[in-house]
């Protein structure tokens, strides 16, 4: 099935090149060329110009600032049967595409696939703790609820996204991925696989601290999963 990448980007001129290069490298040999869409979400830097430097990369401008507005704009502009959302500060590991292909082929009832972070810009001890927390919390949480999505790393079937009406633009940032996972779980299997990881920046952890970052993510997950609304109402930009 044809794969479309949607990369939401707000002032990501410094991170975006590595992200796009990793996507282009992974998809170079596909029989059906992948579609790559960068959603320029009201950027004030050179994000748009950087994206346009890459042949085959299309830019969609979404001037309403907010992650779900960007995701929805990218989805609306895409044509693939599988829609991959990755953050602009992530990089695809060499096993990313082959793992996705295998899991979608072996789980025909799956409508969404997601997985955890591994970090490329944090030192040894902190990296070990941060990635260890994913291994401790994610499998248990997924087993309890049956759904989980990391917004920086997921692939969803177009038909499933259409069934649920796309992304909920009433949620600007925190909890938007859990909201998506919950709604997608109503129409098919949402799988969170620890071997379907993405290489991500630890800039949020470095800025806000490890404990606070995981606390905020965990509380917003629980709030959406059990109360139907985000715990954190306002997204404070970390750049």
* Domains with residue ranges and CATH for the chain: 3-227 (3.90.550.10)
Asked whether the predicted pLDDT for residue 211 surpasses 60, the reply is yes
Asked whether the predicted pLDDT for residue 73 surpasses 70, the reply is yes
Asked whether the predicted pLDDT for residue 224 surpasses 60, the reply is yes
The two counts, helices (H) then strands (E), for the chain are: 9, 10
Backbone dihedral angles phi then psi of residue 172, each to the nearest 5 degrees: -85, -30
Asked whether the predicted pLDDT for residue 14 surpasses 60, the reply is yes
In this structure, of 85-94, 200-209, 229-238, the range with the lowest mean pLDDT score is: 229-238
Q: What is the mean pLDDT of the chain?
A: 92
Give me the mean pLDDT over the 158-173 stretch. 94
pLDDT, residue 46, reads 98
pTM given for the model: 0.92
Sheet with strand 189-192: strands edge to edge: 57-61, 35-40, 3-9, 82-86, 153-157, 110-114, 189-192
Give me the mean pLDDT over the 14-24 stretch. 98
> 68 Cβ partners below 8 Å, 6+ apart?
167, 168, 169, 170, 171, 172, 173, 176
pLDDT, residue 238, reads 42
pLDDT, residue 239, reads 46
Give me the mean pLDDT over the 203-229 stretch. 80
What percentage of the chain exceeds 90 in pLDDT? Answer: 79
Give me the mean pLDDT over the 110-122 stretch. 97
pLDDT, residue 233, reads 62
- Residue with more model confidence, 211 or 193: 193
- Residue with more model confidence, 213 or 44: 44
DSSP track, 151-173: TTEEEEEHHHHHHTTS--TT--S
In this structure, of 10-14, 77-81, 156-160, 209-213, the range with the lowest mean pLDDT score is: 209-213
């Amino acid at each position: 099935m044809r794969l479309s990448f949607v990369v939401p980007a707000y002032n990501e001129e410094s991170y975006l090149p590595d992200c796009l290069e990793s996507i282009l490298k992974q998809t170079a040999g596909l029989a059906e060329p992948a579609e790559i869409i960068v959603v320029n979400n009201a950027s004030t830097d050179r994000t748009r110009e950087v994206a346009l430097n890459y042949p085959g990369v299309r830019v969609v401008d979404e001037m309403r600032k907010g992650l779900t507005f960007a995701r929805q704009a990218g989805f609306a502009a895409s044509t693939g049967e599988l829609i991959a959302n990755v953050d602009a500060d992530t990089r695809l590991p060499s096993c990313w595409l082959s793992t996705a292909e295998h899991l979608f082929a072996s789980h025909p009832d799956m409508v969404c696939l997601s997985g955890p972070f591994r970090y490329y810009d944090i030192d040894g001890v902190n990296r070990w703790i941060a990635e260890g927390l994913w291994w401790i919390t994610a499998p248990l949480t997924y087993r309890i609820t049956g759904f989980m999505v990391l917004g920086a790393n997921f692939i969803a079937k177009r038909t499933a996204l259409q069934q649920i009406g796309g992304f909920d633009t009433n949620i600007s940032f925190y909890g938007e991925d859990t909201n998506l996972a919950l709604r997608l779980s109503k129409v098919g299997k949402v799988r969170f696989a620890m071997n379907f990881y993405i290489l991500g920046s630890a800039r949020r952890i470095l800025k806000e601290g490890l404990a606070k970052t995981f606390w905020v993510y965990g509380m917003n997950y629980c709030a959406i999963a059990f109360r139907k609304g985000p715990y954190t109402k306002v997204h404070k930009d970390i750049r």
